[in-house]
Amino acid sequence: MGAVYRAADLRLEGRVCALKEIRPDPDLLPEALSQAQRQFHREASVLARLDHPNLPKVSDYFTAGEREYLVMDFVAGRDLRQVLEEERRDGRALSEARVLQWAEQLCDALAYLHSQDPPILHRDIKPANVKESPGGLVKLVDFGLVKLLATDDARTITVLQGRGTIAYTPLEQYGGDTGHTGVRSDIYALGATLYHLLTGQPPADAKQRFLQPSSLISPRVLNPHISLSTERAILAAIAMHPDDRPATVEELRQMCRDTSLSNAFATIIPPHSEWQHALRANRALFFLVGGLLLLATLLTIFL
């Protein structure tokens, strides 16, 4: 779809910015290309009015040749994919507390976007599109796939629209312009992002899960240290059908904060991986108990 450049602002000396270049579809007819350009200008002007601490500020937009450009704040720091990879290389996992702090900030950003009139969807939330500053502030970057939700559900061509990244994309988003996406589509992507950060791997993608429902591994199987409440929130966020997901980002936030499922309960019902470990460690005892139960059953039947 395009590229992002680190650029120097020649008018404001010393300012570094990010320049998002959007390339048009080469197969578009002239009329369609003109419509796409008008749509880009409309959406870019909306993005330029956004002002939130967890979003980069869009300061300008322009056309050069047949390509469109967005000028945004350059966000220094590492993206969360890089943070995760560095932790794994050092043999560590990201702590749940740290990931939930990021989740709080991302919920703030999405709640702000979704509250616009019309609501704005990001549609490509993933660890690589979230950057952490040295002070711990995170910003949701790359507005390359933003879509405005028109109240009349009008189907318009948009150069900013796309299908997202497969592991974080809900099934309804694969339809492109014909797919019915909403705020719950962003909630799915956020849930998939939290899954990846806490388990070290992205969840099975929506198409694979549609064909093979058992392909999704529960987060606590991959990381037994995840709390039951966080696992429940993530699984709700990445439910296949939009109606089964939290209706709003605020509802997902409250699920992440919910501590009613205590860790004491987690020791009573451990994750699947812990059952496997217990079975391996006590295999002989389980066989003995199973044999005694079978013998008792046979004696009951024949005596």
For residue 132, the domain's CATH number is: 1.10.510.10
Angle between helices 228-237 and 249-257 (to 10 degrees): 160
Higher pLDDT, 108 or 142: 108
Residue 194 has pLDDT above 60, yes or no: yes
Structure tokens at 281: 């460690």
Using the predicted structure, report yes or no on whether residue 187 has a pLDDT greater than 80. yes
Q: Which of 124, 142, 186, 205 is catalytic?
A: 124
Same domain flag for 122 and 237:
yes
CA distance 153 to 49: 22
pLDDT of residue 175 exceeding 80: no
Structure tokens, 205: 């993608």
What pLDDT does 130 receive? Answer: 96
Q: Domain range holding 278?
A: 274-302
The answer on 146 and 9 residing in a single domain is no
CB atoms within 10 A of CB 67: 15
Tally of CB atoms within 10 A around 145: 21
Binning pLDDT at 50, 70 and 90, where does residue 267 land? very low
Residue 172 CA to residue 187 CA, distance in Å, equals 13
Same domain, 16 and 129: no
For residues 139 and 155, is the Cβ–Cβ distance under 8 A? Answer: no
Question: What does the pLDDT average to over 117-122?
Answer: 87
pLDDT mean across residues, the chain? 83
The pLDDT, as a whole number, for residue 156 is 34
Q: Are 97 and 44 contained in the same domain? A: no
Residues 95, 27, single domain; the answer is no
Q: Do residues 73 and 137 lie in contact, with contact meaning Cβ atoms separated by under 8 Å?
A: no
Same domain? For 108 and 206 the reply is yes
Domain count, the chain: 3
Spatial separation of the C-alpha atoms in residues 265 and 202, rounded to whole Å: 27
Most confident of 65-79, 131-145, 203-217: 203-217
User: Which of 211-225, 235-249, 258-272 has the least mean pLDDT?
Assistant: 258-272
Can 243 be counted among the known catalytic residues?
no
Q: What is the CATH number of the domain that holds 62?
A: 3.30.200.20
Contact yes or no for 138/105 (Cβ under 8 A): yes
Closest CA to 147 of 116, 192, 102: 116
- Asked which of 73, 95, 116 is the last residue of a domain, the reply is 73
Q: What percent of the chain has pLDDT over 70?
A: 80
User: Is pTM beyond 0.85 here?
Assistant: no
Higher pLDDT, 290 or 240: 240
CA distance 195 to 206: 14
Domain end point (choices 73, 96, 129) = 73
The answer on pLDDT for 224 being more than 60 is yes
> How far is residue 266's CA from residue 257's CA, in Å, rounded to a whole number?
16
Q: Same structural domain for residues 50 and 96?
A: no
Do 84 and 210 reside in the same domain of the chain? yes
Q: Tell me which range, 146-160, 164-178, 263-277, 286-300, is most confidently predicted by mean pLDDT.
A: 164-178
Let me know whether 235 and 109 are in one domain: yes
Higher-pLDDT residue of 113, 270: 113
d(CA 238, CA 235): 5
Boundary of a domain, candidates 37, 57, 73: 73
Return the SS3 of 16: strand
